[in-house]
Structure 1
């Protein structure tokens, strides 16, 4: 019996089936490609996120709707200039002018550091064109020299008009004077018209750094071990004692012998910070607790010491490996890069607690 022959397939139907198979294969290939791309993108994102390659380290101040940014190094310098003005009993406007002038002249970055706090070079060298023809007197370039001249020019206002004085023609520095005029009074070397450009940023950062606004300065910082300094609670303690001894009313040792002895001239008083700046533990387990006086006789009324100290610590976080800063019911956390409410009960009122442990336990 001859085999039954199959009827011939419809050519149109065969082509349609082939197209469907090709379409399914194409869709499967596209789905696989999409999955591979998504997996690769997710893996790359996780790698970048964990290694913080795209992290923009910065410090930010938000005051009265105004937001301004500085680098961590700039914020540290601004905090230093503000605290230095407070220590001298100068009004906050002195710090405002110092920060704005430094922004213009050195971008608020440390040029030289000789070890002593007052010798930090944050200003430009040069002589202002208004200093007089043939004048060889350079402008102060370190923080101590800057504030020395500012105090001298501020005191010039009190000089008796009838009293003969070499400074009777000097321009007087006043807290409320515009920045261009302040730059002339302080013999700054750049064109006076440039300095006012930096007032807004300086003013916004001064508010938290002088303690005038609460929880208004924060820093976004790396946590990579090879990019951050080791925790240094002792360094924080030593800098605070050296930077603000008068404002914190830190007593010093006294010479116990006869003041007329030769040894009395060489006696170097040592600060006694116990009860004011206390250090407990070391490295990551270290805690620095700062208890400022309630009413400092030296401090200008424009400052609030507790929030000035808290914001100083935030601005110094990258320098010293600080992880947390607490004041009253608020806490700055380096991981969160912001201020949050704290329920910790062991922090005394108006006391600043500075921590160095990333794995802090609020309870």
Structure 2
């Protein structure tokens, strides 16, 4: 004799349990993918160098784009205020994501429009190019460093929402202080080191050229092939590599710039160190060392830790070099 069918009440309970299991499996799968790929969820944080100054959490993708915007700005000799304006603008326009859509033909970090003379769609989708174009237009805004941020940004962007940029000023200020090197050891990421054909010291050196330009990298003591905006080439030469074949050592030189963007030795060093941490997931960077501090991927909160003055390989950890060690 067949068993009686479950009661409606029991069937409802079973369905709820089944639905809960499906959700749990989906969440577990998502988190696994995020861990293996570096993730798009919050994994980075920048904090104020002073007490009670706030913090801002953002994703590895946003970190890479923010670091590029800052590097292009200082490379052009732009002051920190210009970098803050650029970062606030990108936060408003795209959420610091390099999106290929927008209002009408708007594209990229700054939602620039090919039809309005900002460049081709392909050029605008290059973050370094897009940042350079923003700064080029910003320099034409008279006395922009003295203007309210939202006014300066609006004179470049001509947005339909001119007051919107102001809401991002605090976060942009924290980011620019870290990514121009003024605030030391304030940017951290969890990092997801791994092995990929597109990573390793050669990819790190090519990314440095992409963001800072060949001249700046050579000024820092690394002979790197390629050009700003070029795709990373795994065989790109240059940059001193450690004995383990995984470490790029960048001698630090104080920055210069006619636009007021000159950086001190310490600021240049922390800019490079923070840049490396921001790119940790994308380039599978395992460790960054500078000025007696060391960041290691995978450590809880990814915080900068004081060291005994030595790198992991026993060499001196001074303020004259930034050491970037990759997972492969």
TM-score bracket, normalised by the shorter chain, equals 0.5 to 0.7
Cα drift, residue 295 of structure 1: 5.3
Cα drift, residue 249 of structure 1: 4.8
Cα drift, residue 174 of structure 1: 1.0
Q: What stretches of structure 1 of length at least 5 have no aligned partner? A: 1-43, 113-119, 128-135, 157-170, 254-271, 359-363
Q: 1:287 aligns with which of 241, 247, 257?
A: 247
Q: What stretches of structure 2 of length at least 5 have no aligned partner? A: 1-23, 36-40, 101-106, 224-235
2:81 paired with 1:93:
yes
Quick check: which has more Rg, 1 or 2? 1
Q: 2:181 aligns with which of 208, 211, 235?
A: 211
Cα drift, residue 206 of structure 1: 1.1
- Matched with 2:293 is 330
Q: 1:341 aligns with which of 306, 317, 328?
A: 306
CA distance in 2, matches of 1:243, 1:317: 15
CA contact (8 A) 1:328 1:348 kept: yes
Alignment size in residue pairs? 256
Cα drift, residue 214 of structure 1: 0.9
Q: 1:122 aligns with which of 79, 104, 109?
A: 109
CA distance in 2, matches of 1:232, 1:273: 12
Write out per-residue CA displacement over residues 239-268 of structure 1, whole angstroms, 9 at most, x where no aligned residue. 213432333454999xxxxxxxxxxxxxxx
- Matched with 1:300 is 261
What secondary structure is seen at the aligned counterpart in 1 of 2:145?
A: coil
- Matched with 1:28 is none
Change (3 A) 1:291 1:306: same
CA distance in 2, matches of 1:68, 1:316: 17
- Matched with 1:353 is 323
For 1:192-341, list aligned pairs within 5 A. 192-222=162-192, 231-244=199-212, 245-250=214-219, 277-280=239-242, 285-294=245-254, 296=256, 300-301=261-262, 304-336=267-299, 337-341=302-306
CA contact (8 A) 2:191 2:285 kept: no
CA contact (8 A) 1:105 1:190 kept: no
Change (3 A) 1:61 1:286: same
Cα drift, residue 219 of structure 1: 0.6
Cα drift, residue 180 of structure 1: 2.0
What secondary structure is seen at the aligned counterpart in 2 of 1:247?
A: helix
CA distance in 2, matches of 1:273, 1:182: 40
Change (3 A) 1:88 1:340: same
CA-based RMSD of the aligned residues comes to: 3.5
Cα drift, residue 98 of structure 1: 1.2
Cα drift, residue 347 of structure 1: 3.3
CA distance in 2, matches of 1:242, 1:145: 13
Q: 2:47 aligns with which of 35, 39, 62?
A: 62
| TM-score, structure 2 as length reference | 0.67
